[in-house]
Amino acid sequence: MKRSLTLKTPQRACLLLVSACAGSVAWAQNAAQPQTMYPPVQVVDTALEYRQFEKVEITGSSIVRKEQTQALPVQVITRQEMQKKGHLTVTEAVQSLSHVFNGLDLTQSGMILGGFTSAALHGMASGTLVLLNGRRLAAYGIQHISGKEMAHVDLESLPMAAVDRIEVLTDGASSLYGTDAIAGVINIITRVDRQGFEITADHSRPQGGVGDGWRSSLSWGQGQLHKDGFSWRVTAEIDAYDAMGMADRANGSQGRVFFEHEGKNYRTDSSKASPFTAPALLYSPTASQNKMWSTLYAQGQCHGGGLSYDGFEGGCKVNLLPTYDLYPHRQNRKWHASGELRLSEGATLFAEGLYSRQHITVANKDWSRISGRTVNQDGAVGYAEMLANGLLPGAGFYYFQPNLPALQRSLDKSQWRGTLGIKGEIDQWNYQAQVYRAQSEVLKGAQYDDLASLGFKNSSPLPSAWALQPLDAKNPLTQQLLDTRQWQKDQEGQTQLTALDLRASKPVLERHGKDVLLGMGLEVRQEKVNTRYFEASAAMPGFKDQRHVMAAHTELQVPLAPTWDLIASLRHDHYSDVGASTNGKLASRWALNSTWAVRGSWGTGFRAPSVGQTLNLPAPFLQTSLSGLRCTPDVLAVANALTPTAGSTGVACRDNNFIRVYTNGNPDLKPENSQQMSWGLALTPSRNFSISADYWRVDIRNALQFESWAQALADPLQNTGQFMADPNLVNNPSTNTRYNDLALFLKMRNLGQSTKEGVDLDVRYRKPGDWGRWLLGVQATYMIRSREKTSHNAEWVSDLAAYSSSTNGVTPRWRSHWLLGLEQSDVQWQLVMRHTSGYKDRDIQANRLDTGQRETIQGRKVPSFVTFDLMGLYKWGANTHVRAGVSNLTNRSAPLSFYSANGLSWGANSDAGNLIGRSWQLGVTHKF
């Protein structure tokens, strides 16, 4: 039976493709055999099979296309590339990129500054948006009202086994994604191609057998959407890594360093080289002598790791750094599932779930330190020792701190996200609607000692003579001290994100044989935060709040010529707490010929303050204390004008005393604003050779900065609003009255500015040869400028290739990765050289050896750091891959640096390259 059908657009497309395929098959058959007359084709009265054709979704664009576009500087890191380079975690893959630096790593910064790892495109962690399959994740669970910004995604919460590729957009994208995308976007995309089971196991072993780690995963997938009408995937991943102690990597834990600068030799000690020691140090300063005594000192020198004092006889300092962990002990459990189900009329229902739980412990917390006077009485602890060594018990002091393994901190973290959505095509409109909810939870804890329970109290005599002996297994005090350790919660927090996202795009007309594409979307988000501090951190108040965000965006791609495309996008965001922001972007690519192409963009962006930063709590809270207050006439005038609290006789300024700094949230904060631009060239002389270079610049205005205490104290009459009466009353026993100390009150405001500028380079070449296919590649970032201003009136300060106290960091001039690879049928090898250029070190106080004088060393040059990684991949049959290799092949140690990105290791900078040293890897993947 013949029948005339009226077909909808998707069905027409299907029929046309089927006809084309049938025509191709018929052509092939006709070319192979004589033509034969066939009966006419009849359309039977049966339902046509719908097949949804794959289209391309590009990071940085809301338009679904038929093919990839190169108008945006998007770098794609495939799963195969990550395996060849030996990356075991998402953190390793992201932070290995040449244009990602100054983020939080897995050394002590991950614990001290928050307990997570982050991405920082071009060194801008706060301007880098991390997405999972194009959707947001909840920010780190513990947020702050004051202090370092914590609104980042924890990369360690994402399962590596589920990752298909990572797309990195090194250009601002607030016009599509809204806040946080000033520097660019890192979009982690999960796998969709798995069938059956896949199991992986990896083991890493650093030099010396410390810090061992292993990772294992099990994945399963079933169904193909275009064939079966459904597709499901599940991945479970677990990993564990032992702690690596600082004592295992001495270049980052030296107590005393000897170095050369401008032809002169110097010596300097770490701030962790402490006079508070175990055994206790005894000291009696008098007009005629500066003598000390410690059992660490014998025969004119210090033993047991002790460090001698300059100008003092008989005493030793102790370096505490070897008692700390350099890399933490961590255990991770991660799960990811996703699936699609084909509905009628070409619609597809999709769902995704992510859950991860992590437990981290690290030894980095000091034991309590106590000091006091010795008792001038026969039989008192230390009395006999002081007399025997020429000290005066009546004028003596002791200093004691256990040098036992450092107390531990712990982190229990969880991250989850659930997504449900539908996508498809209606009348050439490619649409996608999804709702998702994400949550991050963090619980911080720590060990606390209780020396007071053993009678060790500050400003009291030593209760036990065992404190004058080494804390070894023979000393009964050792176990008694260890038994006082107790775990206590410090902080807990939770962030939640609930979002509805609607997007649609379609060709609206045709120009020069190409489609004019239109995309648009709506987004509604709710952000919640709840942070609580326990007794150990009672000075920091907890808070709980939420806000709502509504946004609309549109995008238009127009072919100005057959080889010239223009993309324009615009987005408007409205926040319930910080107001509105409208941002746009223009991007263009022009293929000059088949070899050369140029691309460029200009746009604006923004970053909203976190929920906590905008809260004004009922009372200000203590942030820090400053020493060495100078009570100038202007400072005294400000103090006299302040209103004292109830029960106080007035506000006093005490010269050379400390001054407390209080703070609070600021509901008047507005978003940071940025302008960014890029301009690039791409050369593709052949399919095996490509070069691209992109110049970029980001200018940020109204950046969030705390008011400067230095500026307030330097000109108090112009900054009277930054002073307050300290709410803690001070007793004056001579007059039996109480008074307020002078205090500072500083808040975060939109004061700062910053500029970053540089060039990203990517060169790729492959050459077939007798041995296989050779691969050559270079990825590099050259920084032209990196500077900031802490206020509108402040001077620009640069941290480019030099440490800056303003940013407390260094931006390297060059970072580059050089690759040499060989691919054969069953074996693939890659040798990667990683290079980070040198910089000027932070200023350091040091003793000059030939004169004994103490000098300030400025402008010391830290050399560049180069390491080599060698990795191999072997295909054992059709279903098994074996990976083996070594990172930091030559076991090179990081150069001497008195600036350390992780804030605790001393003598080496972990951001220039990890401090693990040589590490061996072995892994296997089997599919069945």
Helix, strand, coil: what percent of the chain each, to 5?
15, 50, 35
Residue 285 lies in a domain: no
Indicate whether 126 and 171 sit together in one domain.
yes
Give me the sign of the Cα torsion angle 129, 130, 132, 137: negative
Amino acid identity for residue 341 in this structure: L
Distance of CA 855 to the CA centre of its chain: 35
Residue 261 lies in a domain: no
Amino acid identity for residue 41 in this structure: V
> Which residue, 146, 111, 38, is CA-closest to 746?
146
Q: What per-residue confidence (pLDDT) applies to 613?
A: 92
Burial 755-765 (b: 16+ CB within 10 A, else e): bbbbbbbbbbe
Indicate whether 35 and 175 sit together in one domain.
no
Indicate whether 823 and 857 sit together in one domain.
yes
Indicate whether 37 and 168 sit together in one domain.
no
> Which residue, 904, 903, 914, 911, is CA-closest to 320?
904
Alpha-carbon gap, residue 913 to 580, rounded angstroms: 41
Q: What per-residue confidence (pLDDT) applies to 35?
A: 38
Q: What per-residue confidence (pLDDT) applies to 34?
A: 39
Indicate whether 44 and 68 sit together in one domain.
no
- Please provide the size of the chain in residues: 928
Residue 477 lies in a domain: no
Residue 392 lies in a domain: no
Residue 101 lies in a domain: yes
Tell me the residue ranges of DSSP E strands in 534-592: 543-561, 564-575, 579-591
Residue 801 near residue 813, CB atoms below 8 Å: yes
| Positions of the chain with pLDDT under 70 | 1-56, 65-70, 107-114, 147-150, 287-289, 535-539, 912-913
Indicate whether 33 and 181 sit together in one domain.
no
Burial 165-195 (b: 16+ CB within 10 A, else e): bbbbbbbbbbbbbbbbbbbbbbbbbbbeebe
Residue 307 lies in a domain: no
> Which residue, 825, 832, 837, 886, is CA-closest to 865?
837
Q: How far is CA 663 from CA 349, 600, 724, 748, in A?
A: 49, 43, 11, 8
**Pair of tokens at residue 224:** 């193909």
Those residues with Cβ within 8 angstroms of residue 103's Cβ, 6 or more apart along the chain or in another chain: 95, 117, 118, 119, 120, 125, 128
Indicate whether 42 and 69 sit together in one domain.
no
Q: What per-residue confidence (pLDDT) applies to 539?
A: 62
Q: What is the pLDDT of residues 111-121, one digit of tens each?
A: 555 678 888 99
Indicate whether 185 and 43 sit together in one domain.
no
Residue 265 lies in a domain: no
Indicate whether 687 and 540 sit together in one domain.
yes
Residue 842 near residue 857, CB atoms below 8 Å: no
Total structural domains within the chain: 2
| Domain range enclosing 98 | 64-247+327-365+408-449+485-615+669-707+747-927
Alpha-carbon gap, residue 114 to 100, rounded angstroms: 19
The model carries a pTM of: 0.89
Residue 369 near residue 457, CB atoms below 8 Å: no
Those residues with Cβ within 8 angstroms of residue 706's Cβ, 6 or more apart along the chain or in another chain: 146, 663, 746, 747, 748, 749
Residue 700 near residue 671, CB atoms below 8 Å: no
DSSP state, 263?
A: T
Indicate whether 795 and 916 sit together in one domain.
yes
Beta bridge partner(s), residue 545? 529
Q: What per-residue confidence (pLDDT) applies to 32?
A: 35
Q: What is the CATH number of the domain that holds 522?
A: 2.40.170.20
Residue 395 lies in a domain: no
Indicate whether 592 and 520 sit together in one domain.
yes
Give me the sign of the Cα torsion angle 269, 273, 276, 280: negative
Q: Residue 843, class by beta-carbon neighbours within 10 Å (0-12 exposed, 13-18 middle, 19+ buried)?
A: middle
Indicate whether 353 and 229 sit together in one domain.
yes
Residue 724 near residue 642, CB atoms below 8 Å: yes
Residue 251 near residue 907, CB atoms below 8 Å: yes
Which DSSP string corresponds to 726-762? EEEEEEETTTTEEEEEEEEE--EEEEEEEEEEEEEEE
